[in-house]
Amino acid sequence: MSGHELAGLVGAVVAGVYLAAVLGRPWPAGRTACWLGGVAAAVVGAPLTGHGDLRLHVVGHLLLGMFAPLLLVRAAPVTLALRTLPVVRARRLAGVLRSGPVRLVGHPVVAALLDVGGLWVMFRTGLHAAADPAVHALVAVHMLSAGTLFAAALVSPDPAPHRARLGLRAAVLVAAVAAHDVLAKTLYATPPPGIPAEQARAGAELLYYGGLPVELALMVLLGAEWWARDRRAGLRPARAAGSS
């Protein structure tokens, strides 16, 4: 089975599980669309992460490590799972999500280090050009997992009892975007070993500009959350005055 076929099979199963959970219950269509879009981005992007051409590898990273995670996170899969699972299993899932290890990797700083730090290791050590299919599979899994952790730490609509402060999440996003852009500039100026300069420059430009839609979406979502928080805070005195 080829990488494309395997990715398609896994994607079909994952999409089917979500649709089965949604069937027959009220659920926002936008969240379902996000899930299907995220699965599609992951299915298309995963095989590209093992491509020898740096430009296609970068496209794979953008789809699998940035677009897919944001869409999957905004689909609120944890909320859906908690609503559809039997009570005992839902409580177990909630307990896992509150556990120390999950809280650690879900912290914005740790998630950013795993996500953007992993990119630096991959591109600056030549790991992206490894010929071993097992390495390609691990790289793809890391991209999707780290990207999902990062997006969830910043803008997940799912319940999070220990969510980091909004200011910290905004600061982490700014730092992560800067690190991502600096990586693209270093690839442009100093191509990885064995990569032609023209190919490296094209890949670097894709890396720099291709992630802008996701970065802007994260900023907008954080800004909307900030605005909603301030609006709620402004309404409290008015309500208190009205009830007195």
Is 243 domain-assigned? no
Tokens of 70: 């944001």
Q: Please, what is the Cα angle at 226 between 93 and 178, to 5 degrees?
A: 85
Q: Please, what is the Cα angle at 127 between 181 and 67, to 5 degrees?
A: 45
| Domain count of the fold of the chain | 1
Is 27 domain-assigned? yes
What Cα–Cα distance (Å) separates residue 58 from each residue in 48, 49, 140, 231?
8, 7, 12, 40
Nearest to 110 by CA among 150, 74, 148, 147: 150
Is 109 domain-assigned? yes
Instruction: List, for residues 139-178, the tens digit of each pLDDT value.
Output: 889 999 999 999 999 999 998 878 899 999 999 999 999 9
Residue 132 has pLDDT above 80, yes or no: no
Q: How confident is the model at residue 114 (pLDDT cuts 50, 70, 90)?
A: very high
Is 145 domain-assigned? yes
- Tell me the residue range of the domain where 181 lies: 3-238
In this structure, are residues 195 and 54 in contact, taking their beta carbons and an 8 Å threshold?
yes
Q: How confident is the model at residue 2 (pLDDT cuts 50, 70, 90)?
A: low
Residue 216 has pLDDT above 60, yes or no: yes
d(CA 188, CA 213): 21
